[in-house]
Structures are given as structure tokens and as C-alpha cells.
């Protein structure tokens, strides 16, 4: 019985075999390359799953998970994390504006100062938010 197939890594046709276990790769280098690629894919999938869980918990009331998942799929992890950070800042700004409207002049001086820094987009606030993971 002869067995003919293609390499799982590069797609090159494998030599016909009359006996023995069927081969899946044309060389050991292709076998290792395919193994490393699958490990990388699994690690990437685990990272994506962790990000999606974090966003589901963090942005549950805003309906943003679908958009962030699309950015993650289309543009990658870095772009999705930057988008999530921008959303966090927008939510903080929205909350600061809401507090100002609700409390009026009863806002503590520290909260008023922080809101003013947010409005000016002060780099110190951006650094603070980045260090806090926001």
C-alpha cells in the first residue's frame, strides 16, 4: 500500500512510502517549525481570551466588547489595548463631567483639580492612568 501526502508545514509533496508509519512533514525542520507555530498560536489565543475576559468585566455596561474584539482580530493586540485605554480615559472624562454636573460646587478640591487635569489632557494624568493600567 502506498501513501502519498503533503507536508503539514510547507505543503510540499511527500515521497511515496510502501511501509512504515505515514509521514506528516518533509523534514525535521518543518516538523519543528510547525510545532513552534502551533505553540505561538495557542499562546496568542490564550492572551486574546484573557483580554476579552478583562474587557467583558471592565466594560460590561457599555457594549464595547464586540468593537474591541473586532479591533483585536483585525489589527492585533497592541491596537486593541490602545483602543481600550482610550475608552477608559473617555469613561473617566464622562464620569468627571457627570460628577461636576450632579454635585456642582460640592466637589472636593482634589476631585476638581483632577477633573481640570483630565480636561487639559495633562501628561502627568496620562502617565498616572497608564501606571494604574487604565
Local confidence pLDDT in tens for the 134 residues of the chain: 445 588 888 888 887 777 777 788 888 888 888 888 887 888 888 888 888 888 888 877 667 778 888 888 888 888 888 888 888 887 777 777 665 565 555 556 666 666 676 777 767 666 666 665 65
Phi, psi of 18 (to 5 degrees): -90, -30
Predicted pLDDT at 40: 80
Global pTM value: 0.48
Statement to judge: residues 63 and 124 lie in one domain: yes
What does the pLDDT read at residue 129? 66
**Are 42 and 105 in a shared domain?**
no
Is 58 in a helix, a strand, or coil? helix
Same domain, 70 and 122: yes
How far apart (Å, rounded) are the C-alpha atoms in residues 125 and 99?
Answer: 18
Q: Which residue range forms the structural domain that includes residue 21?
A: 1-48
CB atoms within 10 A of CB 59: 17
The structural domain count of the chain equals 2
Q: Is residue 15 part of a domain?
A: yes
β partners of residue 6: 13
pLDDT at position 5, please?
80
Partnered with residue 17 across adjacent β-strands are 3
**Residue 64 bridge partners (DSSP):** none
Is 54 a member of any domain? no
Amino acid at each position: 500500500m502506498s501513501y502519498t501526502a503533503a507536508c503539514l508545514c510547507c505543503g510540499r509533496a511527500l515521497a511515496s512510502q510502501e511501509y512504515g508509519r505515514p509521514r506528516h512533514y518533509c523534514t525535521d525542520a518543518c516538523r519543528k517549525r510547525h510545532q513552534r507555530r502551533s505553540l505561538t498560536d495557542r499562546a496568542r489565543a490564550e492572551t486574546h481570551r484573557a483580554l476579552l475576559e478583562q474587557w467583558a468585566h471592565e466594560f460590561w455596561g457599555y457594549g464595547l466588547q464586540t468593537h474591541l474584539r473586532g479591533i483585536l482580530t483585525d489589527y492585533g493586540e497592541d491596537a486593541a489595548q490602545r483602543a481600550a485605554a482610550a475608552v477608559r480615559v473617555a469613561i473617566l472624562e464622562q464620569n468627571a463631567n457627570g460628577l461636576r454636573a450632579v454635585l456642582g460646587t460640592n466637589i472636593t478640591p482634589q476631585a476638581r483639580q483632577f477633573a481640570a487635569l483630565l480636561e487639559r489632557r495633562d501628561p502627568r494624568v496620562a502617565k498616572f492612568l497608564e501606571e494604574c493600567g487604565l
